[in-house]
Amino acid sequence: MNQIKSTISLAVVAAIVLTVVSGAIHGRSAKHSTLEQAYRNTELAFSNLPEKFGDWYLEDEHGLSDSALELLECGAFIHHSYRNRESGQVVNLAVMVGPGAKMSIHVPEICFEARNFRLIQERQPEQVDRDCFWHVGFQLNDVSERKLNVYYGWKVEDEWVAPKMPRWAVAGQPVLYKLQLSEHVSTAGQDEGGARDFLTHFLPLLNEQLDQVSVESNTQLASLHQIDAKEDEKALSADQTDLD
């Protein structure tokens, strides 16, 4: 009799494990499909951005290295250079999308200091209309001593934000956008300010394209997370009931 009970209990446990595993596989598949759709929608949004706005025009398009794409798990991106037709100043822009856990942890203070730049200005928040970015300054370690201004931030719902601790503030976002903009300026600083002017003209265009994609993607993924949590709760409840 005890052997029969033991066999039944093992069968019940095996059935529960199979249910949980199959549910987890289905959940991962659904999340993957939603992420892939979000990335495709983002690529479409990027393609709709104009090449000219204000005094700025698209000068060049760049790629990202395979190592960077893998490190960030980047699903879609633009990496462009824009030139101001009046001043001739050039800014370099990167907008990327990927999982929040990856997009939130890489900041210029670490990356640029590993590329022969030294930090000369600690980060400080910079408000651009409704959006906020970190502004940090570097200097190239060579005879030119060229200064590099960098602006960066993350998009949460319909705003770009500059949290003090992004690992805690935005890492939980299922789909997270990151923007990074840089400008080289002379040591005298007379050509400074182009990056802010660029953001003033570019952000309304970018936000218009990304707002709908961002809201839809995170809503879908949040729903999947809730479904997963409910299925896990049911499985654990059934597990406890059958083993009692």
Can you give the pLDDT at residue 182? Answer: 96
Q: Confirm whether 179 is domain-assigned.
A: yes
Tens digit of pLDDT for each residue in 108-157? 988 887 778 999 999 999 999 999 999 999 998 888 788 999 999 999 98
Q: Per-residue b/e over 38-75, b at no fewer than 16 CB within 10 Å?
A: bbebbbebbeebeeeeebbebeeeeebeeebeeebebb
Q: Per-residue b/e over 162-171, b at no fewer than 16 CB within 10 Å?
A: bbeebeebbb
Tens digit of pLDDT for each residue in 68-84? 888 889 999 999 999 99
Tens digit of pLDDT for each residue in 183-239? 988 766 556 789 999 999 999 999 999 987 765 555 555 554 554 544 445 544 444
Q: Confirm whether 5 is domain-assigned.
A: no
**pTM to 2 decimal places:** 0.75
Q: Confirm whether 181 is domain-assigned.
A: yes
Q: How many residues does the chain have?
A: 244
Can you give the pLDDT at residue 42? Answer: 93
Q: Confirm whether 41 is domain-assigned.
A: no
CATH of the domain at 55: 3.40.1000
Task: Using alpha carbons, list the distances in angstroms from residue 142 to 114, 115, 133, 146, 191.
Answer: 14, 12, 28, 8, 20
Q: Confirm whether 74 is domain-assigned.
A: yes
Tens digit of pLDDT for each residue in 30-71? 566 778 888 999 999 999 999 999 999 999 999 998 888 888
Better-predicted residue by pLDDT, 227 or 26: 227
Q: Count of domains in the chain?
A: 1
Q: Confirm whether 204 is domain-assigned.
A: no
- Among residues 174, 176, 171, the alpha carbon closest in space to that of 223 is found at 174
Can you give the pLDDT at residue 86? Answer: 93
Q: Which domain holds residue 94?
A: 51-199
Q: Confirm whether 215 is domain-assigned.
A: no
- Confidence class of residue 21 from pLDDT cuts 50, 70 and 90? very low
- Confidence class of residue 8 from pLDDT cuts 50, 70 and 90? very low
Better-predicted residue by pLDDT, 147 or 20: 147
